[in-house]
């Protein structure tokens, strides 16, 4: 509380602000509207971005550029109907607008990752501070160390998957959502039964007229009442839309309204006792049970943000916007439930560092407020684009949504920006680092894609290479991985010239990450003949919520080839026999590793960005282990590309 001498009317105004923030942002925006803007069950800013890209030609992803309109998958997956809207046409014409939209999606995702660092820190730290009520002698250092130990334990449990521990979540959250409003009701009756008069918006007007600039600055702290709504949308891949709506409307929303009302009623009778507001209004007889429930609830809240962080990291990796990290599917039944070891331990180190570095002061709360409201404002803007471009909502309804929420959240953003020197800089620092990593990786991948497209090997060129007398066809089955669809990777020519051979049956495999959440199993693997005898093309198509490592890729591709042969003439039997013989002889997976050679004549931008990309490429994981290919069957072919 920043007011030097708060009054009853100040507290009434603050409760009115929290009530309407929870109602409008929590209920109307997220539960009523945003949860319907999912992309095949996935939520968050990147899911909305992919949804927009599929309904209008506004994406600048590599997979979008080489996508053929004639392919059946695009016709099946894209829901683009009729002519694009005026806004869709504007984005299609303006590369600047498309880049701004992409930057906004990336920023929203980076801020959510920052949320994954701050939520566990502030939630657990706030709960453990309850020890200082009965034991004032407990120092801040003890609180910080205990919080860090709890968080380390939580992160170490992540590898077992959410499903393994989620059976505890429901009882804990049920205890939290049912006990806190009961205490709130007790506090209302005991301290100030007329608290619900504050629902009237005129208390908000009076609050700002009375406190002016100081009242506006206090919005930076008030925004914390709605934390978690942004994670609720990002966690859509872990829970169904209906379950989130029912849980929020039936328990979370009324619980928060009554709890905040009880706290406000207590403060009206104790106007200067505003430090540690939650534990102050808990009656002494139930203090310790509530301390235990609050600590467990903080752990569950932390888990939801950690899970959401894993989800957005996976989305970024499969869309080729983030260096490859290991992603493990921890549930056979829920495809959205993933775990990333590298991400997990980096988050753990950052969370513990935040607790030990910022301590029990207001700095973590200030940083948390910046993250929450920035994600919400980006969601509002992107949801407006979804309404106009995809849903074709009437302009009056779009304005009724956009104007109030943009003004409300814009006011919150302007207030939390004043907190940047007081800890709010942290999420910006994290977001800038992540955005630089993502941009550096994307820029390098784009340059490689451009080189491969300009120097691709055509089927005719492959036929010429194989016709040379020194080139032999050796026994065995080879899976040759390529990044391009229309043609073959330049590394193929490099390989044939140096090895003077090609396997009897060679399948050129292209992994294509599409701007959809999930690809239908029937459309997962597409195969075709490429002209020369025993040479085939194969496209393995995945959405960002699909798993790359389900089963043996080689077995899946060979099964698809056999089915392809069965639909052809009698020559198909001979090809099937050759395929089986090659498979029995031996299988090898060949992957090109093209590196940049940055010459002295290259520009400074290329020197910096491509040098950074090569560093990232050197420390990230290979794509092949994610496909489950045996180590002894992998071969890497190196090639330098001079910039």
pLDDT of residue 234: 76
Using one digit for the tens of pLDDT, what is the confidence trace for 486-530?
788 888 888 888 888 999 999 988 887 776 667 887 788 888 888
pLDDT tens digits along 128-157: 988 887 888 888 889 899 999 999 998 988
Mean pLDDT of 571-582: 84
pLDDT of 403 strictly over 90: yes
Residue 612 CB partners (closer than 8 Å, separation 6+): 436, 440, 444
pTM score above 0.85: no
With a pLDDT cut of 70, the percent of the chain lying above it is: 88
Assess whether pLDDT exceeds 90 at residue 50: no
Task: Give the domains, in start order, of the chain with CATH numbers.
Answer: 8-423 (1.20.1740), 443-642 (no CATH)
Mean of pLDDT values over 89-110:
82
Query: Per residue in 269-308, pLDDT tens?
Result: 887 776 666 788 888 899 999 999 999 998 888 887 888 7
The DSSP bridge pattern shows strands 472-482 and 338-339 to be unpaired
pLDDT at res. 229: 83
Q: pLDDT band at residue 199, thresholds of 50, 70 and 90?
A: very high
pLDDT band at 553 (very low <50, low <70, confident <90, very high): confident
> For position 406, what pLDDT does the model report?
95
Q: Would you state the pLDDT for residue 336?
A: 60
Question: If 0-12 CB within 10 Å is exposed, 13-18 middle and 19+ buried, where does residue 578 land?
Answer: middle
**Confidence bin at 63 (pLDDT 50/70/90):** very low
DSSP code of 84? Answer: P
User: 438: how many CB neighbours lie within 10 A of its CB?
Assistant: 18
Burial 347-383 (b: 16+ CB within 10 A, else e): bbebbbebbeebebeebbbbbbbbbbbbbbbbbbbbb
Between helices 169-191 and 253-269, what is the axis angle to 10°?
40
């Amino acid at each position: 509380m920043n007011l030097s001498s708060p009054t009853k009317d100040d507290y009434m105004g603050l409760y009115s602000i929290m009530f309407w923030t929870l109602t409008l942002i929590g209920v109307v925006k997220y539960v009523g509207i945003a949860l319907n803007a999912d992309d095949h069950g996935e939520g968050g800013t990147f899911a909305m971005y992919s949804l927009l890209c599929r309904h209008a030609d506004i994406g600048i992803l590599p997979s979008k550029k080489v996508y053929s309109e004639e392919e059946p998958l695009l016709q099946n997956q894209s829901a683009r109907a009729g002519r694009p809207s005026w806004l869709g046409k504007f984005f299609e014409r303006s590369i600047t607008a498309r880049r701004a939209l992409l930057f906004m999606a990336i920023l929203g995702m980076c801020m959510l990752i920052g949320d994954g660092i701050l939520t566990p820190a502030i939630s657990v730290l706030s709960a453990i501070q309850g020890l200082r009520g009965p034991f004032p002698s407990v120092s801040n250092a003890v609180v910080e160390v205990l919080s860090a130990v709890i968080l380390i334990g939580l992160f170490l449990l992540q590898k077992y998957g959410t499903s393994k521990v989620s059976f505890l979540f429901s009882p804990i959250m049920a205890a939290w959502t049912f006990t806190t409003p009961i205490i709130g009701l007790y506090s209302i009756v005991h301290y100030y039964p007329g608290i619900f008069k504050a629902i009237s918006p005129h208390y908000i007007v009076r609050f700002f007229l009375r406190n002016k600039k100081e009242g506006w600055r206090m919005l930076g702290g008030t925004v914390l009442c709605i934390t978690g709504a942004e994670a609720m949308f990002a966690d859509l891949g872990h829970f169904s839309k209906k379950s989130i709506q029912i849980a929020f409307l039936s328990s979370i929303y009324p619980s928060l309204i009554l709890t905040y009302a009880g706290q406000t009623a207590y403060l009206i009778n104790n106007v200067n006792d505003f430090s540690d507001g939650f534990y102050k209004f808990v009656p002494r007889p139930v203090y310790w049970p509530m301390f235990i429930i609050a600590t467990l609830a903080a752990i569950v809240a932390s888990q939801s943000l950690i899970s959401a962080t894993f989800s957005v990291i996976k989305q970024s990796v499969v869309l080729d916007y983030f260096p490859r990290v290991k992603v493990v599917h921890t549930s056979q039944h829920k495809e959205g439930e993933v775990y990333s070891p590298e991400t997990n331990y980096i988050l753990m180190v950052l969370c513990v560092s935040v607790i030990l570095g910022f301590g029990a002061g207001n700095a973590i709360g200030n940083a948390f407020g910046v993250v929450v409201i920035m994600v919400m404002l980006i969601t509002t803007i992107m949801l407006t684009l979804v309404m106009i471009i995809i849903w074709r909502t009437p302009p009056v309804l779009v304005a009724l949504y956009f104007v109030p929420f943009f003004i409300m959240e814009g006011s919150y953003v302007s207030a939390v920006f004043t907190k940047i020197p007081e800890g709010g800089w942290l999420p910006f620092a994290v977001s800038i680092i992540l955005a630089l990593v993502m941009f550096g990786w994307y820029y390098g991948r784009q340059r490689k894609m451009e080189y491969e497209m300009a120097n691709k090997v055509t089927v005719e060129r492959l036929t010429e290479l194989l016709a040379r007398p020194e080139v032999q066809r050796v026994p065995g089955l080879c899976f040759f991985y390529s990044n391009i669809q229309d043609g073959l990777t330049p590394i193929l020519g490099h390989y044939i010239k140096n090895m003077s051979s090609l396997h009897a049956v060679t399948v050129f495999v292209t992994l294509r990450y599409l701007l959809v959440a999930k690809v239908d199993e029937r459309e997962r693997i597409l195969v075709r003949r490429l002209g020369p005898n025993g040479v085939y093309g194969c496209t393995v198509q995945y959405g960002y919520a699909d798993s790359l490592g389900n089963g043996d890729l080689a077995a899946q591709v060979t099964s698809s080839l056999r089915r392809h042969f069965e639909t052809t003439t009698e020559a198909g039997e001979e090809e099937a026999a050759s395929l089986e013989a090659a498979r029995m002889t031996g299988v090898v997976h060949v992957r090109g590793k093209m590196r940049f050679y940055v010459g002295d004549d290259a520009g400074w931008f290329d020197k910096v960005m491509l040098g950074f990309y090569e560093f990232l490429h050197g420390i990230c994981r290979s794509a092949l282990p994610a496909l489950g290919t045996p180590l002894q069957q992998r071969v890497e072919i190196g090639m330098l590309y001079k910039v």
